[in-house]
Amino acid sequence: MSNENRTDIIEGRNPVMEALKSGRTIDKILVQNGEKQGSIIKILKIAKEMRIAVSYAEKAKLDSIASTKAHQGIIAYVAAKEYVSLKDIINIAKEKGEAPFVVICDEITDPHNLGSIIRTANAAGAHGVVISKHNAVGLNSTVAKTSAGAVEFTPVAKVSSISQAIETLKKENVWVVAADMDGDRTVYEHDFSGGVAIVIGNEGKGISHLVKKNCDFIVRIPMLGKISSLNASVAGALMIYEVVRNRNKKEQ
């Protein structure tokens, strides 16, 4: 995507400050190394109060991201769609009289993967998607485009802790199932009926140790060729549609 078409960034001190004051949903703020004077200090203070992630980079990095060269040492990444809470997702299932069906993304960093996962989750009738605030991509314009519009219809919750989100779901009688190579059963052998949340791991590291430890079940996708792993969105799609298959089977 060319910088001229970016719709998910705000550049400059005053524009970023106004975005914060207006309550606009901001995924993270990027600050130029060494910029800690004047209005930057006020922006960082507000960001801390609002629990917005802040990272630092060299000027060349900000120049490459910005549409103009007038970023004044600060860029904010804004969400293409407002986030909901995890409780909102649970309530959506309850209002429909359905067992919760949630897709959890553990530190997915590729916007194309996240967009594809949201698109598949919507197609499969999932009640919502959960993503992390840390070390993960947010709902930027690339995610929105890759989702083919699904971000407009799929509730997405952004949480500080995936492990805490899992504990909340367990209290709602939701079984949490992760896909990992060391699963004790295949994805085809597991019963995905009832309230279920599936966990899709990071593209390189997979599912983090703590998150894996908190899951109820670990299943594996059979790999019969020379390649030992699948793209995160493909693995997620297989898991998501196993939930659909199991639910359809129970209804017949």
The whole-number pLDDT of residue 8 equals 83
The whole-number pLDDT of residue 252 equals 54
The whole-number pLDDT of residue 251 equals 63
Q: Which residue has tokens 């279920």?
A: 196
Q: Distance (Å, rounded) from C-alpha 248 to C-alpha 128?
A: 19
State the helix-helix crossing angle for 162-171 and 86-96, rounded to 10 degrees: 30
Residue 239 DSSP SS3: helix
- Give yes or no for a contact between 5 and 32, defined as CB atoms under 8 angstroms apart: no
pTM of the model: 0.85
Residue 83 DSSP SS3: coil
Q: Distance (Å, rounded) from C-alpha 229 to C-alpha 61?
A: 32
Single out the residue of 167, 170, 122 nearest to residue 143, CA to CA: 122
Q: In what order do the strands lie in the sheet with 217-220?
A: 156-159, 128-132, 101-105, 196-200, 175-179, 217-220, 185-186
| For the chain, domain boundaries | 3-78, 86-251
- Helix intervals (H) in 50-149: 59-65, 86-96, 111-123, 141-146
Q: Which CATH fold would you assign to the domain 3-78?
A: 60s Ribosomal Protein L30; Chain: A; (3.30.1330)
**Phi and psi at residue 202, to the nearest 5°:** -60, 145
The whole-number pLDDT of residue 2 equals 43
The per-residue pLDDT for range 16-53, each reduced to its tens digit, is 999 898 888 899 999 999 877 788 999 999 999 998 98
The whole-number pLDDT of residue 22 equals 86
Q: Where are the beta strands (DSSP E) in 69-184?
A: 74-78, 101-105, 128-132, 156-159, 175-179
The whole-number pLDDT of residue 1 equals 41
CATH ID of 86-251, from 3.30.1330.60, 3.40.1280.10, 2.40.50.140, 3.40.630.30 = 3.40.1280.10
Q: Give the chain's residues under pLDDT 50.
A: 1-2, 4-5
Single out the residue of 60, 56, 52 nearest to residue 78, CA to CA: 52
Cα radius of gyration rounded to whole Å, the chain: 19
The whole-number pLDDT of residue 170 equals 97
The whole-number pLDDT of residue 92 equals 97
Please list, in sequence order, all residues whose beta carbon lies within 8 angstroms of the beta carbon of residue 147, skipping any fewer than 6 positions away: 115, 116, 118, 119, 122, 154
The whole-number pLDDT of residue 4 equals 46
CA 127 to chain centre: 14
The whole-number pLDDT of residue 32 equals 93
